[in-house]
């Protein structure tokens, strides 16, 4: 059989094992140009990303950092906290001090209490095995909170090196570029769009005292919804402007579709209101619970879109998460997408989200 090569990295394409390099979904072989899944992911969401690595390679780099002295700045996307968590980071951190930074604060609605978000992030980090010295919110894009972040880094590092770590798409490049800009007045210094096969070094930004800030490659985390979408769909789910919360009054046995990415079923309880916090561009469809399966089957990709195009093939099937919610004002967080605030107590609901995407509950931030 003729060997197909990936147009991104040149690797031989295989369709058997998604965990092995060169994998492409069988359906993609019908296209004229075949791209492996890894390149598909890199190419389709990766605008400013210097280099991304899969788990093992990344852990090797972390291991290297583990042996050095310095502090760690861990960046997460506040819309994708669980999806942008680096599993296993705590094992390599040792006694290093950690500053946890939540990026993309510019899209938080005004109604969100910043301190509650910070407290939630801190508690989640501890649950996941890390105890940050401090937790801050920034918008790397707009520059909000960057001065405080730099001041905190300077205090915490105590004359040592700084290692910036984060999953892809959390805004790490934007953050680093902004640090460089503020420090030196130059524009975008870290160049972009590398493809697999590029040397995977730490990028060094020298500091006045002979120490440096090191940018590490972004890790590809399979829990990020971003990896299952093409560029267009990723744009659609990524909030760019301040979120406008949408309130829905629902009767039991009604369903809301958030595009075709997620489905929310109100199963039991009195008529209640639910507030949806997702990108303003995502259309929301209301239907009867009874009709929901058939509607999804028939209209995924047209009425229920995004996803559309290539993302349809890449999107993992839905997994159903059911919750019996006792407390009023509970958020159901769908990592990478946003959250739904359940306003009233004593309801039973279910969320359907693509496999691998984390769904967690938290007390409302409002
Ligand atoms: P990296 O993969 O972690 O290096 O992330 P990038 O810096 O390439 O950013 C990923 C995406 O998030 C891009 O679409 C950025 O425009 C967007 N982004 C980065 N920082 C911010 C921010 O502070 N606010 C918002 N709204 N978007 C951001």
Distance (Å, whole) CA 258 – CA 281: 10
Confidence at residue 83, expressed as pLDDT on a 0 to 100 scale: 87
pLDDT at position 185: 53
Q: Average the pLDDT over 260-274 and give the result.
A: 97
pLDDT for the residue 1:
54
The whole-number pLDDT of residue 209 equals 85
**Rounded Cα–Cα distance for residues 83 and 350 (Å):** 20
3-state secondary structure of 95: coil
Establish whether this prediction's ipTM goes over 0.90: yes
For 111-166, what is the HEC assignment? Answer: CCCHHHHHHHHHHHHHHCCCCCCEEEEECCCCCCCHHHHHHHHHHHHCCCCEEEEE
Q: For ligand 1, which residues put their CB under 6 angstroms from it?
A: 47-49, 103-104, 106-107, 139-141, 166, 168-174, 218, 240
In this predicted structure, what is the pLDDT of residue 31?
80
- Supply the residue whose CA is at minimum distance from atom 9 of ligand 1: 171
Q: Is the pLDDT of residue 274 over 70?
A: yes
Of 44, 45, 48, the one to substitute when testing ligand 1's pocket (max ligand atoms within 8 A of C-beta) is 48
For residues 183-188, average pLDDT: 54
Which stretch of 80-84, 121-125, 212-216, 324-328 has the lowest confidence by average pLDDT? 212-216
- At residue 25, does pLDDT exceed 60? yes
For the CA of 167, the closest atom of ligand 1 is 3
Measure 279 CA to ligand 1 centroid, in angstroms.
Answer: 15
Q: How many residues does the chain have?
A: 366
- Domain edges within the chain: 1-35, 52-219, 239-363
Q: Which of 305, 333, 167, 169 is nearest to 233 (CA)?
A: 305
Q: How confident is the model at residue 206 (pLDDT cuts 50, 70, 90)?
A: confident
170 or 287, higher pLDDT: 287
Using the predicted structure, report yes or no on whether residue 10 has a pLDDT greater than 80: no
The residue among 211 and 44 whose pLDDT is bigger is 211
Q: How many angstroms separate the CA atoms of 158 and 366, rounded?
A: 36
User: Distance from the CA of 172 to the center of ligand 1, in angstroms?
Assistant: 7
pLDDT at 320 over 50: yes
pLDDT confidence bin for 49, thresholds 50/70/90: very low
- Residue 260's pLDDT is 96
- Binned at pLDDT 50, 70 and 90, residue 202 comes out as low
243 vs 122: CA distance, rounded Å: 23
CA of 321 to the centre of ligand 1 (A): 29
**What confidence tens digit (pLDDT) does each residue in 91-149 have?**
778 889 999 999 999 999 999 999 999 999 999 999 988 999 999 999 999 999 999 99
Per cent of the chain over pLDDT 70 is 87
At the topology level, CATH places domain 52-219 in: Rossmann fold (3.40.50)
pLDDT tops 50 at residue 165: yes
Averaged pLDDT score across all residues of the chain: 85
Contact between residue 153 and residue 85 where contact means Cβ atoms under 8 Å apart: no
Tell me the whole-structure pTM to 2 decimals.
Answer: 0.82
Report residue 61's pLDDT band, with 50, 70 and 90 as the boundaries: confident
């Amino acid at each position: 059989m003729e060997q197909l090569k990936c147009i991104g990295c040149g690797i031989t394409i295989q369709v058997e094992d998604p965990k092995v390099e060169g994998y492409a979904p069988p359906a993609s072989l019908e296209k004229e140009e075949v791209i492996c899944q890894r390149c598909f992911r890199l190419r389709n969401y990766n605008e400013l990303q210097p280099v991304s690595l899969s788990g093992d390679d990344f852990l090797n780099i972390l291991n290297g950092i583990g042996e050095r002295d310095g502090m760690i700045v861990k960046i997460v996307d506040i819309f994708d906290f669980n999806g942008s968590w680096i599993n296993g980071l705590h094992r390599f951190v040792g006694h290093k001090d950690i500053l946890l930074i939540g990026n993309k604060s510019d899209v938080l609605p005004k109604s969100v209490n910043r301190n509650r978000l910070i407290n939630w992030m801190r508690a989640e980090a501890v649950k996941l095995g890390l105890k940050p010295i401090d937790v801050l919110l920034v918008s790397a894009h707009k520059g909000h909170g960057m001065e405080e972040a730099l001041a905190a880094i300077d205090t915490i590092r105590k004359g040592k090196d700084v290692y910036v770590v984060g999953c892809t798409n959390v805004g790490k490049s934007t953050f680093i570029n902004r640090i460089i800009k503020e420090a030196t007045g130059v524009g975008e210094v870290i160049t972009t769009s590398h493809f697999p096969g590029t040397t995977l070094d730490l990028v060094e930004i020298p500091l006045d005292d002979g120490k440096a800030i090191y940018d590490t490659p972004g890790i590809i985390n399979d829990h990020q919804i971003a990896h299952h979408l093409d560029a267009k769909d990723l744009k659609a789910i990524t909030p760019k402007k301040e979120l406008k919360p949408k309130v829905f009054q629902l009767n039991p046995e009604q369903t809301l579709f958030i595009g075709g990415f997620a489905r929310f079923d109100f199963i039991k309880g009195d008529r209640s209101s639910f507030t949806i916090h997702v990108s303003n561009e995502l259309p929301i469809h209301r239907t009867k619970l009874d009709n929901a399966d058939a509607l999804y089957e028939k209209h995924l990709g047209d009425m229920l879109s995004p996803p559309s195009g290539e993302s349809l093939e890449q999107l993992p099937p839905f997994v159903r998460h059911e919750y019996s919610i006792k407390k009023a004002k509970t958020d159901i967080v769908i990592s990478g997408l946003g959250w739904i605030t359940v306003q009233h107590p004593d309801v039973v609901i279910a969320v359907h989200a693509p496999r691998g995407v984390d769904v967690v509950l938290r007390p409302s931030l409002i």
